[in-house]
Structure 1
Amino acid sequence: MKKPSGYALIRRHLRRYPRSLRQSLIHELDQLVTCEPVIGIMGKTGVGKSSLCNALFRSEVCAVNAVEACTREPQRVRLRFGSHYLTLIDLPGVGESLQRDDEYRELYRELMPQLDMVLWVLKADDRAFTIEEQFYQAVFVGYNGPQPPLIWVLNQADKTEPAEQWNWSSAQPSVLQAEHIAQKQQAVARQLGIAERDLLVISVRGRYRLSRLVEAMITRLPKQTRSPLVPHLQTGYRTEVVISSARTGFGEAVVEVIDRIIDLAPLPQVARSALQTVTHTVARAARTVWSFFFG
């Protein structure tokens, strides 16, 4: 199958590499371009997980596990936009069935290595987060293996008192609401034992700070999964920060791939050093054609 012109440009920069290395590099580049991010969405029923995903992503649902709401299994939703795929895993709500929380702890630990990121969604007008705190300590803090980045999302900020003062036209809280939102953010972060910067306050219904959430997602995702996420985003969230972070991450991922392949190749040291000197030229070429792959 003939590769499109974006690959042709990359190939021109790979001419100094031995044929076997070129083939490996093109294969690895394919893997980067077609990488499928997997994002876990946590939170109780009613916190707005579905509305958040609908607000952020424009992709078609191409496969859904139709399961009951009370299922013990996570619901996987696979999204497609063009040739790019994204998997969202809706994890069972913690604390909704106390007798199942032990099962959920095991389930989450099993899923952890599969996830590129976790969004844990909370409601801004909830008064206590004791169950979430306990579960977080037991599953995430107590987990010994590599963990996916976790972003806490405090949704429904528009319900913060005095809720009637929310400015719907400007998508902003009133001065008094903003004070209460900041206090709530501090209190929840303190209870969970996390940094305030790891708790993002948003309102899907109020269109409040969703761009900040997307930018946080892109900058915290593993570099190889940033670019494949971009095509799925609603147009308004593909900001300069998002594009720049994704493009940079793609270039860095290409450098890592090239370095790994060169290190594994049976080459004389002189040849190895010569190839390593053109690594960043290839990475620059990859960043140049970024829009071709992900734009």
Structure 2
Amino acid sequence: MARIDRISVDALDEHQLEEVRQSVRRERDAEANRPLSVAIMGQTGVGKSSLLNALFGTRLAVGDDKPVTREPHAISVPGNSGHTLTFWDMPGIGESAGADRAYASMYLDRLSESDVVIWAVHADSRSAADETRHLNRILKGADPQLRREVVGKLTFVLTKADMLTPPPWIFDMRGRQGSFVPSPALAARLERRAGHVERTVLEPWCELLRAGTYNTGEFAVSDERLSFDRHAVHYRGHFSEQARERYSAAHPEHAAVFSRLRDNHRVLPCSALFRFNLARLMVSVVNKLGPTAIFRFQRVLDDAAELAGVPVAAMREYGNFVVWDGVRGVSAYDLARFPL
């Protein structure tokens, strides 16, 4: 939007002022009603399509043997009053050096056009070095401003967290349905994995990182890295867990704001199979889209509360140990035989 200084406004007559007001309203309405988009990136086989299927009940093709997403695939989610939020399932990176080079410009274009970028990392990956290499390759040809914009959009998630065992997962059963939660030991293991990805992949870009969230109108903290207005709060840099703890201790009345800022850079473990942290992921994405998105996609947030539910019948099919007594030739223990 073009800037109009006070001298030029004062010099306008009433008719010209009304034209300016109408122009500002048109631009404001266009911004408020524009479609928003989220790109889902990551290496081949990390479960991007499975994640979208779990989130939205779609039937995107998934495969264990070879990549099945060759072209960007869009899933559009209606919000309130006809607003649209589109999730882009992108072809996996790391399939081959040739494919990565061929897709590089497509990745950069989609990342630059998207409002948020979810970068999926396999939770059982032993190293995050490949993610750093792929991100560097994609951003190599970008100018500094575009690089800053893309890095600021990134949200990293650990997918297929259900594959991390032992320690065990806990199924919290409530009648015919329940939800999966990691045991304390497994939660600590997931936290260590997430911290490793954050330090390895995200921290090197700390000078380009930005965090933002909505403002309810009460936030007012004077700090060189923080900026705010009536609608939004922004932080310049990497908003680490240490930063969240420090700001929350100094300004406990704004702890919820600092928690939302932290979500911008928190690496979130999730599982499409166990439907673990899917609701938290959706809330994090909508929060990161900006203050107007909170109201435009309130229906999406309301629906997110149902994402964690797993029927007991389905849970029993996800895995089981059968203890076989080889001396007597009988089954000593089989969970499937016990009623719940």
Q: Is the aligned partner of 1:216 residue 2:284?
A: yes
- The structure-2 alpha-carbon separation of the partners of 1:228 and 1:23, relative to structure 1 and needing over 3 Å to count, comes to same
Q: Which residue of 1 aligns with 2:196?
A: 187
- Structure 2: how far apart are the matches of 1:140 and 1:198? 21
Aligned 8 A contact 1:168 1:206 in 2: no
Q: How many residues align?
A: 213
Q: Which residue of 2 aligns with 1:177?
A: 186
Aligned 8 A contact 1:151 1:198 in 2: yes
* CA positional deviation for 1:234: 5.3
Q: Is the aligned partner of 1:137 residue 2:140?
A: no
- Residues 1-295 of structure 1 aligned to structure 2 (within 5 Å): 19-21=18-20, 23-57=22-56, 69=68, 71=70, 73-81=71-79, 83-140=82-139, 143=142, 144=144, 145=146, 146-147=149-150, 148-162=152-166, 165-169=168-172, 170-194=179-203, 197-233=265-301, 235-237=303-305
- Structure 1: how far apart are the matches of 2:69 and 2:270? 27
- Structure 1: how far apart are the matches of 2:131 and 2:171? 30
- Structure 2: how far apart are the matches of 1:37 and 1:198? 22
- Structure 1: how far apart are the matches of 2:87 and 2:121? 17
- The structure-2 alpha-carbon separation of the partners of 1:215 and 1:187, relative to structure 1 and needing over 3 Å to count, comes to same
TM-score for both structures, normalised by structure 2:
0.53
Aligned 8 A contact 1:149 1:221 in 2: no
- Structure 2: how far apart are the matches of 1:84 and 1:156? 31
- The structure-2 alpha-carbon separation of the partners of 1:141 and 1:102, relative to structure 1 and needing over 3 Å to count, comes to closer
AA paired with 2:72? P
- Structure 2: how far apart are the matches of 1:70 and 1:56? 17
Aligned 8 A contact 1:36 1:225 in 2: no
Q: Which structure has the greater CA radius of gyration?
A: 2
- The structure-2 alpha-carbon separation of the partners of 1:78 and 1:127, relative to structure 1 and needing over 3 Å to count, comes to same
- Structure 2: how far apart are the matches of 1:207 and 1:70? 22
Q: Write the deviation string for residues 97-117 of structure 1: whole angstroms up to 9, x where unpaired.
A: 221112222222223331111
Q: Write the deviation string for residues 232-266 of structure 1: whole angstroms up to 9, x where unpaired.
A: 4452449xxxxxxxxxxxxxxxxxxxxxxxxxxxx
* CA positional deviation for 1:70: 5.5
* CA positional deviation for 1:35: 1.9
Q: Write the deviation string for residues 108-128 of structure 1: whole angstroms up to 9, x where unpaired.
A: 222333111100112212223
- Structure 2: how far apart are the matches of 1:24 and 1:220? 28
- Structure 1: how far apart are the matches of 2:36 and 2:43? 23
Q: Write the deviation string for residues 167-221 of structure 1: whole angstroms up to 9, x where unpaired.
A: 1225211122122212222233333253674311222333333333233223322
Secondary structure of 2:138's counterpart equals helix
* CA positional deviation for 1:27: 3.0
Structure that is richer in strand per residue: 2
AA paired with 2:191? A
- Structure 2: how far apart are the matches of 1:226 and 1:216? 11
- Structure 2: how far apart are the matches of 1:96 and 1:234? 37
- The structure-2 alpha-carbon separation of the partners of 1:153 and 1:141, relative to structure 1 and needing over 3 Å to count, comes to farther
AA paired with 2:289? L
- Structure 2: how far apart are the matches of 1:24 and 1:231? 30
- The structure-2 alpha-carbon separation of the partners of 1:223 and 1:57, relative to structure 1 and needing over 3 Å to count, comes to farther
Secondary structure of 1:168's counterpart equals strand
- The structure-2 alpha-carbon separation of the partners of 1:236 and 1:19, relative to structure 1 and needing over 3 Å to count, comes to same
Aligned 8 A contact 2:40 2:48 in 1: yes
- The structure-2 alpha-carbon separation of the partners of 1:54 and 1:237, relative to structure 1 and needing over 3 Å to count, comes to farther
Q: CA RMSD in A?
A: 3.3
Q: Which residue of 2 aligns with 1:243?
A: none
Secondary structure of 1:128's counterpart equals coil
Aligned 8 A contact 1:214 1:237 in 2: no
Q: Name structure 1 gaps, 5 residues minimum.
A: 1-16, 62-67, 239-295
- The structure-2 alpha-carbon separation of the partners of 1:120 and 1:172, relative to structure 1 and needing over 3 Å to count, comes to same
Q: Which has the higher contact order (CA 8 A, sep 6+)?
A: 1
Name the % identity: 30
